Amino acid sequence: MLKPTRYPIRNPTTMMIRCLSPVFMAVLLPSLMLSSALAEQSHSDKGKEIVGKIKASLYLGSDAAPEKWAEKYALVEKEVTGQLRGIKQMRFQHYRKLGADIQPVFRSYENWLAPLKPSEEILLSFESRGRSGDGGLRLDLEFWQHRRKIMQMNPVLHADKPLLILGPRWRGCSLIIAIELID
């Protein structure tokens, strides 16, 4: 004959819940609270507000016939060619478009444009300095080549008015950077 035990047999599920309850309280609950606090903070971060978009296009200009490596790049549209030839220092016989990149402009964060993706040989960094009185966007703009800062300026960009920069010599040609505000 079996003797009754002093302690009744408990449900294994109930035992597991009682054992894991302190672990949940000590580990999982603080993690959930932290993630919700971080999510709330990211919603209230005014610096991540997008205040515009910028497009950077990279062109090569040369009076000599393009070399073999340049043939893989597209010819520049006639409208852009006309704009470039309208500036004395940018008048060349041949133009090639190397690439372009479009990035949002955040209110308070530094942003990067890489018009030669995936290469990081030529980069532009920019940070918003707010709107100008005439509706333009003021920027801190830096041009980087081979991880060295080549140029720094503080332009005011306007929609449909690209900023054209005659850059340094590159592969026997002149670099031309067109930066425009896209609203």
- The rounded average pLDDT for each run of 10 residues, N- to C-terminus, in the chain (183 residues) is 59 62 56 57 71 91 80 87 90 91 89 84 89 89 90 91 88 89 84
Q: Which residues pair with 105 in a beta bridge?
A: 52
Which residue range forms the structural domain that includes residue 123? Answer: 47-182
Q: What is the pLDDT of residue 7?
A: 57
Query: Does residue 166 sit within a domain?
Result: yes
State whether 140 and 116 are in the same domain.
Answer: yes
Q: What is the pLDDT of residue 45?
A: 72
State whether 82 and 127 are in the same domain.
Answer: yes
Whether the Cβ atoms of residue 66 and residue 72 lie closer than 8 Å to each other: no
* Strands 137-145 and 156-157, bridge-based pairing: antiparallel
State whether 75 and 112 are in the same domain.
Answer: yes
State whether 94 and 169 are in the same domain.
Answer: yes
For residue 122, give the nearest of 77, 81, 65, 168 by alpha carbon: 168
Q: What is the pLDDT of residue 137?
A: 92
State whether 93 and 126 are in the same domain.
Answer: yes
Dihedral angle, C-alpha 45, 48, 51, 57, nearest 10 °: 170
State whether 66 and 36 are in the same domain.
Answer: no
Whether the Cβ atoms of residue 181 and residue 159 lie closer than 8 Å to each other: yes
Q: What is the pLDDT of residue 58?
A: 93
Q: What is the pLDDT of residue 18?
A: 64
Cβ–Cβ contacts within 10 Å for residue 70, how many? 16
Query: Does residue 169 sit within a domain?
Result: yes
Q: What is the pLDDT of residue 30?
A: 56
For residue 52, give the nearest of 165, 169, 156 by alpha carbon: 156
User: How many domains does the chain divide into?
Assistant: 2
Q: What is the pLDDT of residue 35?
A: 59
CA atoms of 85 and 96, how far apart (whole Å): 13
State whether 171 and 129 are in the same domain.
Answer: yes
Q: What is the pLDDT of residue 50?
A: 87
Give the global pTM. Answer: 0.70
Cα radius of gyration (the chain) = 29
